[in-house]
Amino acid sequence: MRKNIVAGNWKMNNGLIQTKTLITELKQQKQTSDAEVMIAPSFTNLWHAFEETRQYPIEVVAQNMHFSDDGAYTGEISAGMLKSIGISTVILGHSERRTYYNETDEALAKKVDTALSQEIRVIFCFGEELADRKSGKHESIVENQIKKGLFHLKADAFKDVILAYEPVWAIGTGETASPEQAQDMHAFIRKTLANKYGQEVANSVSILYGGSVKPNNAKEIFSKTDVDGGLIGGAALNAEDFYAIVNAF
Ligand code: PGA
């Protein structure tokens, strides 16, 4: 059956000293849930984070990568580089990447292919903007993002794909989707997957919710049938808050 996952997206926060401190604090926390725990520090701290968490049930994952294997792409990081330091999961398509760096559905589909071909698992992010929700277009926007980013894959590839529904209006705003809104969308996503790949595949894929998940709302959101965990931004920068969320299952 699908796994519960809590992934902390550190975004562009924490230099080496802060990374060391936060990892030390994370290792002191007690995990009481069965959730898979992931953290995504910046590229410069991935190796340190990976080394420091080797003996712990914390997976270090990347926030992004390029779709090419190598070449003249100044400032970019390849799947092979991630693999070379032991990283085997990458976040792709975060709304901040889509918005600020113009990552298109087409580019993301290529990134997905590159990652999977190198045996790197993908946490594929998508979600509607506030105007889409207000105009009732949220489901069709999300359906389109999933289709364009993932529906060229074979069913078998979904064993290495995790979905993360993150309504843009809830990211870093303190405003969360209600547990019902999250459940409705997650059920819709699973139905969309089932229509294309069948119910068995749809049931096997973890669908995370992201957008202002905090210790005080995680339990209710995670209690919903189709919510299999969270992608956590702000609250992942504090070890106690992060583990309160990990343990909210
Ligand atoms: P937030 O970020 O928890 O700070 O809203 C979530 C995310 O961007 O993944």
Closest ligand 1 atom number to CA of residue 170: 5
pLDDT of residue 173: 86
- In order of 140, 154, 202, the CA distances from 89 in angstroms are 28, 19, 20
Which residue's C-alpha comes closest to atom 3 of ligand 1?
233
pLDDT of residue 174: 82
Quick check: 176 pLDDT over 90?
Answer: no
Distance CA(85)–CA(26), nearest Å, equals 21
- The tens digit of pLDDT for each residue in 57-93 reads 999 999 999 999 999 999 999 999 999 999 999 999 9
- The tens digit of pLDDT for each residue in 132-150 reads 999 999 999 999 999 999 9
Closest ligand 1 atom number to CA of residue 234: 4
Q: Catalytic residue positions?
A: 94, 166
pTM summary value: 0.97
Which residue's C-alpha comes closest to atom 7 of ligand 1?
233
C-alpha 99 – ligand 1 centre gap (Å)? 14
- The tens digit of pLDDT for each residue in 194-233 reads 999 999 999 999 999 999 999 999 999 999 999 999 999 9
Site to substitute for ligand 1 among 129, 231, 242, most atoms within 8 A of C-beta: 231
pLDDT of residue 175: 81
Strands 207-210 and 89-92: unpaired
C-alpha 214 – ligand 1 centre gap (Å)? 10
- In order of 9, 35, 185, the CA distances from 164 in angstroms are 12, 15, 11
